[in-house]
Amino acid sequence: MNKQKGQHKIKPEQVLRALDEVFGFSKDIFISGKFEGTLLWFGLRTDPSKLSDNICDANQVYNLMQAFINEAKRSLIFLNTICSIHMFACTTGSCNDSNMKALCLGLQEPFCSVNINNKSGTLKEEKKTLLNEVTRIGRSLPGENKFWFNTACVKSNVMGATCTTWWIIVNYMKGQNVSERFEQLLSDKDICNTHLVGVAACINDGSGDSSTHGHVFVYQPLPQEPSSVTGLPVHINAFFVLNQDRRHIRWPDSGKERNQIDKKMEWNMRLLSEILPEAYTAVVMRFVDFCNEHDNDTRLIAKLYHAIPNKNSVTERWVLLSQRTLELLWNKSILKTTTGKWIEPKKAVFMKKAMLKKVPDIVWEHVASVFVEDKDELVEVSDHVTESFEQEFPHQLSYFTPSVLRNLLMAYISSIYITILTNRKMRK
């Protein structure tokens, strides 16, 4: 601020006219050059200049505000300590744009507020505790795997329209069984990143809000571009190394030989293959616990299944994370049987009604009840869950097929026949 004050084009009276008494700004702060906050200056030209002939009208400012609103709804999920955002708009002159007029509520009332907290109201303190521990560990490996779990609520209010989304958030730092190469990269001075990662799964998205779509974070969400869309149903956060534009993760070019991949690219790829799959698995397992805590509500179980990677939707860069996560989930009790038991995918018998399209639901219900009398392994899940595990473990899934159904009914009929004969003999 002191530097700006010394510029001959910056006049104190102009700065004070714009900022005096705004969020604690005053003449004394302008003189001292110290302000407990961050000021961002956007060069929104209203007239062409020698530097640029691009001018900004009220509609462009409104679109900028809308972009801030959309980002704010997900920006708080992985931030270290910030738990609320409030946006204010005011104008010192006339504004003919109706959209901007609606936003300009003055400095006493925000046109947009976003807050994140947990049920106990302690999320900010827990975030600080996490930050302190991660700072203490630094770029070393902790003595054991470290997990930090939270169930948090993001509440937004935009011009009176409210939206609430609940998230299961897992932050994770691996401490055991990392590769020798990963340890080398972790201590590399050219990378200087910690290996803390985070995964967030949405519990409810009844609003259809786009902020719940899977996105990439480096504590803040990367720009909404095709390269930052993963196709995963969860948000991913990690200390990825970015390109010089700070907008894209540093990835190897398609077809590049392994010996041409630099160590910063390798760091990003190893986060995907060695660290993030375990965090993703932890989110799904925590989701199972959450379902149990809420009487296994069918809507929650549907959201749990939605959180499992869909291999048909995952974009190319994130296929490896999807594969490794499915491999870990194969042996985890994440599927609910028709009788209420949690079971591993490798042990489940999948009831896929598409295999018998003409069979009425009442028949399915009957034969399913017969099946579970003998085996408590029958599950009915989203199609993408079955297809993803089938792609990852071809020919290893068990299905409730017509042949299984036939054998089941024959055995069932035989058992009834045997029971009848036994009863007749006993009468004699």
State pLDDT tens for residues 243-284: 888 888 998 876 555 556 789 999 999 999 999 999 999 999
Cβ atoms of 193 and 241 closer than 8 Å: yes
At 75-116, the pLDDT tens digits run 999 998 899 999 888 776 667 778 888 888 877 889 999 999
* Predicted pLDDT at 92: 64
Among 200, 209, 148, 152, CA closest to 174: 148
H helix or E strand, kind and range, residue 169? strand 161-173
Burial class of residue 316 in the structure, from the number of CB atoms within 10 Å of its CB (0-12 exposed, 13-18 middle, 19+ buried): exposed
Measured CA to CA, the distance from residue 218 to residue 222 in angstroms comes to 7
Nearest Cα to Cα of residue 129 among 152, 112, 149, 100:
149
Amino acid 26: pLDDT: 81
- pLDDT value of residue 39: 72
What length does the chain have?
428
Flag whether pLDDT at 387 surpasses 60.
yes
For residue 422, what pLDDT band results from cuts at 50, 70 and 90? low
Q: What are phi and psi of 367, to 5 degrees?
A: -70, -30
Higher pLDDT, 427 or 345: 345
pLDDT beyond 90 at 23: no
- Kindly tell me the sign of the dihedral angle through the C-alpha atoms of 238, 242, 246, 248: negative
Look up residue 271 and give its DSSP letter: I
Instruction: Indicate the pLDDT class of residue 423, thresholds 50, 70 and 90.
Output: low
Question: Could you tell me the pLDDT band of residue 9, with boundaries at 50, 70 and 90?
Answer: low
Dihedral sign, Cα of residue 326, residue 327, residue 333, residue 337: positive
Give the pTM.
Answer: 0.85
Report the pLDDT value the prediction gives residue 206, as an integer from 0 to 100.
Answer: 47
Asked whether residue 391 carries a pLDDT value surpassing 80, the answer given is yes
Q: Average pLDDT for residues 44-59, to the nearest whole number?
A: 80
**What confidence tens digit (pLDDT) does each residue in 187-237 have?**
999 998 999 999 999 998 645 455 557 899 999 888 877 767 899 999 999
* HSE, side-chain direction, 13 A CA sphere, residue 340: 4
Rounded CA gap, 310 and 329, in Å? 13
Q: What was the pLDDT predicted at 157? A: 94
Of 27, 21, 61, 23, the closest CA to residue 1 belongs to 27
Measured CA to CA, the distance from residue 143 to residue 173 in angstroms comes to 10
The mean pLDDT of 119-127, rounded to a whole number, is 94
Mean per-residue pLDDT of the chain: 84
Which residues are CB-contacts of 317 (< 8 A; sequence separation ≥ 6)? 227, 230, 249, 251
Q: Is residue 240 very low, low, confident or very high in pLDDT (cuts 50, 70, 90)?
A: very high
What is the band of 4 on the pLDDT scale with cuts at 50, 70, 90? low
How crowded is the C-beta side of 174, counted as CA atoms within 13 Å?
A: 22
* Alpha-carbon gap, residue 234 to 244, rounded angstroms: 26
Average pLDDT over residues 292-312: 94
Q: Which whole number is the average pLDDT over 303-316?
A: 94
